[in-house]
Chain A
Amino acid sequence: MPPREGTYGLLAEFDNPSDLVRATKQARQDGWRRMECYTPYPVEEAAEALNFHRNKVPLITLVGGLMGLAAMFLLETWISVLAYPLNIGGRPTYSWPAFIIPAYEWTILWAGLSACFGMLALNGLPALYHPLFNAPNFRDGATTDKFFLCLEALDPKFDLIEARKYLESFQPASVVEVQY
């Protein structure tokens, strides 16, 4: 477990996304790994600069969808063939074409729920507390119009004074230290 006291990281504030992307690219080149950008809307270039390209949401969705499909189709088959066989106009008890439709709906239902909750789980949300909310300028800007780069203290390169100097070389609007 990472330490839960002391410095979480250094937070640099930028006024536009271009400066943030440039700083992030440079920091990644200079060997920083434990860092994260915070933006008021998705900035794909920032993800590229962080070298974050793939995520597991599609896989979770696929697995969820297939589970939904299997669950409903098996349920329908079990009910209609074994648990409660009904003669409907002489049709076979295993009338699979009719079973496709609820199974199709459940594929979508389970896939959709997996996409949503899988995404939240991978993001570690809900997490109502986060050290960044302690930063004085974070809450006003990060969800409105400011762009943040946070160098985290867990990075082996992290040194409070050196890292501050490093961030200031990108001419951000401000650099603040974030406490746990």
Chain B
Amino acid sequence: MATSELKTNDPGIDPATGEYRVIGPGQTFRSVTEKISRIVLTPHTPLGWFALFGIGGAVATMLLVAVTWLFLVGVGIWAISQPVAWGFAIINFVWWIGIGHAGTLISAILLLFKQGWRNSINRFAEAMTIFAVVCAGMFPLIHVGRPWVAYWMLPIPLTMNVWPQFRSPLLWDVFAVSTYATISVVFWYLGMIPDFGTLRDRAESKIAQYVYGILSVGWRGSTRHWMRYETASLLLAGLATPLVLSVHTVISFDFAVAVLPGWHTTIFPPYFVAGAIYSGFAMVLTLAIPLRKFYHLEGLVTERHIDNMGKVMLATGFIVAYGYGMEVFMAWYSASHWEAFMMWNRMFGPMGWSYWVLITCNLAIPLTTLWSRKLRTNVTFMFLLSLVVNIGMWFERFVIIVTSLYRDFLPSSWGTYRATKWDYMTYVGTLGLFTALFLLFVRFLPMIPMNEIRMMLPGAKITPKATAKAGD
């Protein structure tokens, strides 16, 4: 009794229905449309946007410099050598792809589970996916040494009559990542078609009308079109779900198929997927929290969204924790001398500090605090936490790659790994590229799906005759 009394005072609960509110009160079809389309259609770009874009662009230029030098000199400018032959490039590849996964999870899996709250955040989560895949896809390409012949990886008839080798997980990656990129772009664009129609109809400048008009492919909101569109969206969601799970699984095969202690383990596929979603949700929070503040979208991206994302992170965080636990357990239970040494070396060897950074950032801090609803709805805390998890997940890949490699079977070949300035420039550069692309998206494309928000408004409820009359 007492608890239900308390709940009615909760601003997060709709007094009319007693249900949790996903969207702030008082929104109408027109107010939502105006709010979201104005961000895109206004001729005035906020100064803050220029400032951030300037920083992002400058950092992305650093990437250009680093990659140019790489192409001129070769991968020797990176710290990769024997025994650590996979360094920052693969760490960053796995990290970025993982970040992308939350976007697909939000847009596809939560759609299939009919989680209405995803509607406010799915568009920019999908954008995040695509830009993350852009950053990720670059790393293997520049890592191959001769990127100008990267097309050899594709099964195309070349004059040399050479064909790819389909038993290699590295080639599976080519198909997994390229399919993932294509389907993400298709899903993202498909979702925007009706919103492009809205923008076309609301744009005042001729150029905007033409551009959004062409992008909208002539969308006019016909009911028959909508129904086919909804079917196609659901099917794409149904296809993207096994796809997203397969992509990180295939990436984990790059490691798991090798015979190296620390890599050769069957837990990698589920553990990689969970880690991907964990870091991806952290990145969604990193992006969503400043965005809602900057563009005053608190009514659309509410504390409830942040709370829910915190819960998803808690759940996936525990799967990741299970993965770490199992690695340690198997190192002992396998009774393999090499496994046990790898684990000991990973924890207490010269690079053991990275393992403890990982444990602190991924387990110690988030999995103790995310239980508290108060902290989950504390926006500043969640922002800081999301940065911590992003760092932690980067270190997870660092630990998997570097600490498995640097002391292998023969002590005479032991080495160490110290990234060069080119490694850092390339990595930080992709952060700049990602920021710049994301800012362009925020400025020119609708970052919240208007048509999906409209469906959730009280005005969208079909009422029987009598009540409709009374409302007139």
Contact = CB atoms under 8 A, between A and B. Distances in A.
Contact of A126 (B190, B217, B226): B217
A45 B165 CA distance: 52
Given A58-B235, A75-B155, A39 B221 contact: yes
Given A50-B224, A116-B190, A119-B232, A105 B166 contact: no
Contacts of A119: 190, 228-229, 231-232
B324 interface: no
B166 A109 contact: no
B465 A108 contact: no
A126 B239 CA distance: 24
A19 B232 CA distance: 28
Contacts of A13: none
A83 interface: yes
Contact of A108 (B168, B198, B243): B243
Contacts of A72: 175
B197 A143 contact: yes
Given A41-B451, A84-B162, A130-B220, A79 B155 contact: yes
A37 B179 contact: no
A95 interface: yes
Interface in A69-106: 72, 75-76, 79-80, 83-84, 86, 88, 91, 95, 98-99, 101-102, 104-106
Contact of B229 (A42, A79, A143): A42
Interface stretch (B3-11, B26-34, B85-93, B357-365): B26-34
A71 B221 CA distance: 36
Given A105-B176, A127-B218, A40 B454 contact: yes
B219 to A, nearest CB: 7
A122 interface: yes
B232 A40 contact: no
Interface string A95-138: 10011011011101101110110111011011111101100001
Contacts of A108: 179, 183, 239-240, 242-243, 246
A101 B172 contact: yes
Contacts, number: 214
Interface stretch (B16-24, B50-58, B408-416, B455-463): B455-463
Contact of A55 (B175, B220, B228): B228
B224 A79 contact: no
A159 interface: no
Interface in B342-400: none
B182 A84 contact: no
Nearest to B464: A18
Sorting the interface of chain A by its residue count into under 10, 10 to 19, 20 to 34 or 35 or more gives 35 or more
Nearest to A110: B179
A133 B197 CA distance: 11
Interface in B65-100: none
A46 interface: yes
Contacts of B33: 40, 144-145
A138 B164 CA distance: 54
B231 A76 contact: no
Contacts of B182: 109, 112-113
A125 B219 contact: yes
B163 interface: yes
Given A109-B183, A112-B240, A38 B222 contact: yes
Contact of A102 (B166, B214, B220, B468): B166
Contacts of A106: 175, 179
B223 interface: yes
B99 to A, nearest CB: 20
Nearest to B176: A105
A37 B222 contact: yes
A91 B166 CA distance: 12
A177 interface: no
Nearest to A55: B228
A160 B119 CA distance: 42
A23 to B, nearest CB: 12
Contacts of B460: 17, 41, 43
A66 interface: no
Contacts of A128: 213-214, 217-218
B337 interface: no
B304 interface: no
A120 B231 CA distance: 12
A22 B250 CA distance: 51
**Residue with the highest number of chain A CB atoms closer than 10 Å, among B168, B217, B222, B464:** B222
Contacts of A61: 232, 235, 239
Interface in B197-214: 197-198, 200-202, 213-214
A80 B370 CA distance: 50
A22 B465 contact: yes
Interface in A26-62: 36-47, 50, 52, 55, 57-58, 61
Contacts of A113: 182, 186
Nearest to A77: B166
B452 interface: yes
Interface of A: 16-19, 21-22, 36-47, 50, 52, 55, 57-58, 61, 65, 72, 75-76, 79-80, 83-84, 86, 88, 91, 95, 98-99, 101-102, 104-106, 108-109, 111-113, 115-116, 118-120, 122-123, 125-130, 132-133, 138-140, 142-145
Given A41-B194, A145-B33, 15 more contacts: A16-B468, A18-B464, A22-B465, A42-B227, A42-B230, A83-B163, A88-B165, A101-B246, A102-B175, A105-B175, A109-B182, A112-B187, A119-B229, A128-B218, A138-B220
28 contacts: A17-B459, A18-B462, A40-B451, A40-B454, A42-B230, A50-B223, A55-B224, A55-B228, A58-B235, A76-B166, A79-B155, A80-B163, A88-B168, A101-B176, A101-B246, A101-B250, A105-B176, A108-B240, A109-B182, A112-B183, A115-B236, A123-B229, A125-B225, A138-B220, A142-B221, A143-B202, A143-B220, A144-B202
Closest 3 CB pairs of A and B: A145-B29, A126-B217, A119-B232
